[in-house]
Amino acid sequence: MSIDARALAEPVPGTPPDREALTAAMQHANLPALVPVLHQLTGDRRWLAEPYRPTRSRGMDDNDLGGFPDDVQAEIRTAAVDAVLEWAGGRPAAVPTPTGDGLLELLRLAVGEDVPAEYEAMTAEDMGFRPPEPAHRVPEGTAFRVIVIGAGVSGMLASIRLTEAGIDHVVLEKNDDVGGTWLENAYPGAGVDTPSHLYSYSFAPRQWSTHFGKRDEVLAYLRDVADAHDLRTVIRFGSEVTRAVYDDARQRWTVTTAGGEALEANAVITAVGQLNRPKVPDLPGLGEFTGPLFHSAQWPAGLDVTGKRVAIIGTGASAMQIVPAIAGQAAQVTVFQRSPQWASYNSVYFTGIDEAVSLLMEQVPFYRRWYRTRLAWNFNDRVHPSLQIDPEWEHPERSINAINDAHRRVFTRYVQAELDGRDDLLAKALPDYPPFGKRMLLDNGWYAALRRDDVELVTEPVAAITATGVRGSGGTEVEADVVVLCTGFETHKLLHPMDVRGRDGGSIHDVWGPDDADAHLGISVSGFPNLFLTCGPGTVLGHGGSYITIAECQVRYIVEALTTMAARGLGAVDVSPEAHADYVARQDDAHAAMIWTHPGMRNWYRNAAGRVVCTLPWRIVDYWGMTRHVDWHDFTVEPVRP
């Protein structure tokens, strides 16, 4: 069997798989995901007790062996083969749809630790054990139209759900294909820092080839989803939106593109993301460099750095991916670092997904669901409690509480081991702020690359670009043939550079100011009726996990609002100033007690005044509940005007 790009369907009973092939594949199974499968297939409660309870994963490790001794591993695998063959031969699963306390018991078993009861509803729906609530649909022939701006992850999702709801819509996309940031960011080493099986729409699993998808495979996935849902028929490519204006008298939005086309709609959904517009620093001499100089998101097609001297400005996620990818190919790589980053080890980061694992996903019922659910727990809310500031903690200069301090010790030991014998590098690369103060990165060979003779780490901010290279603030002069700006994105300038105007012609940028955006649930802004944001202010995940999860929450909420408008004959819905202000106050209060406001560091989550603009302070399960249904008490509504 070859690993391909097919969507992955849940196994169904039928012709039993080959016992020998299944037995061999079981040697590659994640045992903590397999034990709950055994209980579901057999109904035997012995699989819920010792010695079959796996240990808790350490950090973000997959914990494939579950801490089981060899004899217990063998027993689990053998029993699983027998159970799968019996099921495939026609014996129904004993517990096909666990919910309530039964699901919680299995969830706690799979992850090896306690999981609060409030996770049951979200988990049951995500795993397909509880059917989703009936989809909202508008009556056929309803004259209601929506414009979606952007065809990346959120815009594609919005289009899929709008189609399911029977809502007429068009998607305006500035690029010539779907994919958003994954289409634009084609630099060497680009990829996700979230596990592939988690960085997927819940309704569109895939047989991934690697545990952490690289850019080309992620983009291929999004293109495949677009094809499967025939999205290109409703997308207008090469249509960059420059202006969106609300007409209060007509209860309509007019959206204008760079080509001068004006389109009208009852509502607008923005899906432009936050990592969308490159931030290019205003450095002296920026226009004087004689070689290629570009932002990482604008890597020139066909650029060959072989034998060239490359200067990298910045040490964020893109730099950490680029440097290991080009080290050894370029003649010299020099990295200018303003502040170091924490990076975590992951045991499967560099490994592909074995064909045997693909066989398990295809032929073992419930296995894929439990594998994904374990990833979701390990990479999502699990770390959230440790990000709360303990005001009594006696070492606030290095950490924010006892657990965070333990994390610091673990990550420090890892960095020390990676840079063993290189005290010079350790002094440069070890952060002095609490771990998770910036989004935790995964080590994709960063420390190994720093040890190379042809890689140099300069701990100076860049002072200027010269005609032949880069000059640091400490006076270091570096000759370069290529300069790459790994300087992030205009994350505080949401919806930039579009001119968005609501009631009475008010500009959303005047409301927000240059860097202080906010929105109710990150979705609605008072004074801008029928405008709904995805990836809006305060919704980026800083504590880990997949943004796709947040996008699904937001789009579900938005589509419910739109179908309700159409069904009830509402011409305008506008979040009230009181509800908007109350949400923002609660969000700011939550952030004030969290790590991202720690005074000893800078991050792209905070604006110049120190307010956290970008990240979500809540757990994912909290946000899932907040966006479960529209609370119409938060909105003022107007009937359709004749």
Q: What is the pLDDT of residue 17?
A: 87
Q: Are 52 and 338 in contact (CB under 8 A)?
A: no
Q: What is the pLDDT of residue 104?
A: 98
The pTM (predicted TM-score) of the whole model is 0.95
| pLDDT level of residue 8 (50, 70, 90 thresholds) | low
Give me the mean pLDDT over the 49-56 stretch. 96
> Which helix (H) or strand (E) covers residue 168, if one does?
strand 168-173
| pLDDT level of residue 602 (50, 70, 90 thresholds) | confident
Distance CA(582)–CA(520), nearest Å, equals 8
User: Which has the higher per-residue pLDDT, 141 or 147?
Assistant: 147
Judged against a pLDDT cut of 70, whether residue 4 lies above it is answered with no
Q: What is the pLDDT of residue 9?
A: 65
| Residues written for the chain | 642
Give me the mean pLDDT over the 137-155 stretch. 94
Rg of the chain in Å (alpha carbons): 25
Distance CA(621)–CA(99), nearest Å, equals 17
| pLDDT level of residue 598 (50, 70, 90 thresholds) | confident
Judged against a pLDDT cut of 80, whether residue 604 lies above it is answered with yes
Distance CA(79)–CA(86), nearest Å, equals 11
DSSP-assigned letter for residue 307 = T
- Contacts with 638 (C-beta within 8 Å, 6 or more apart), sequence order: 251, 529, 570, 571, 572, 573
Q: What is the pLDDT of residue 321?
A: 96
Mean pLDDT across the chain: 94
Set out the domains of the chain in order of their start, with CATH numbers. Answer: 19-132+354-381 (no CATH), 145-277+491-636 (3.50.50.60), 293-342+399-432+435-485 (3.50.50.60)
pLDDT, tens only, 540-563: 998 888 999 999 999 999 999 999
Give me the mean pLDDT over the 508-533 stretch. 97
Judged against a pLDDT cut of 80, whether residue 627 lies above it is answered with yes
Q: Are 174 and 554 in contact (CB under 8 A)?
A: no
**Dihedral angle sign, alpha carbons of residues 204, 208, 210, 214:** negative
DSSP-assigned letter for residue 474 = T
In this structure, which amino acid lies at residue 44?
Answer: D
pLDDT, tens only, 57-86: 887 778 999 999 999 999 999 999 999 999
pLDDT, tens only, 336-394: 999 999 998 888 888 899 999 989 999 999 999 999 999 999 988 999 999 999 999 99
- Contacts with 155 (C-beta within 8 Å, 6 or more apart), sequence order: 148, 149, 171, 173, 180, 269, 271, 534
Up-side HSE of residue 78: CA atoms within 13 Å toward CB? 6
Q: Are 186 and 179 in contact (CB under 8 A)?
A: no
Distance CA(547)–CA(549), nearest Å, equals 5
pLDDT, tens only, 421-439: 999 999 999 999 999 998 8
- Sheet bearing 252-257, strands edge to edge: 262-265, 252-257, 241-247, 499-501
Q: What is the pLDDT of residue 16?
A: 80
Judged against a pLDDT cut of 60, whether residue 220 lies above it is answered with yes
Q: What is the pLDDT of residue 642?
A: 83
Judged against a pLDDT cut of 60, whether residue 6 lies above it is answered with no
> Which helix (H) or strand (E) covers residue 571, if one does?
strand 570-575
Residues of the chain with pLDDT > 70, as a percent, come to: 98
- Sheet bearing 332-336, strands edge to edge: 293-295, 482-485, 309-313, 332-336, 455-458
pLDDT, tens only, 163-177: 999 999 999 999 999
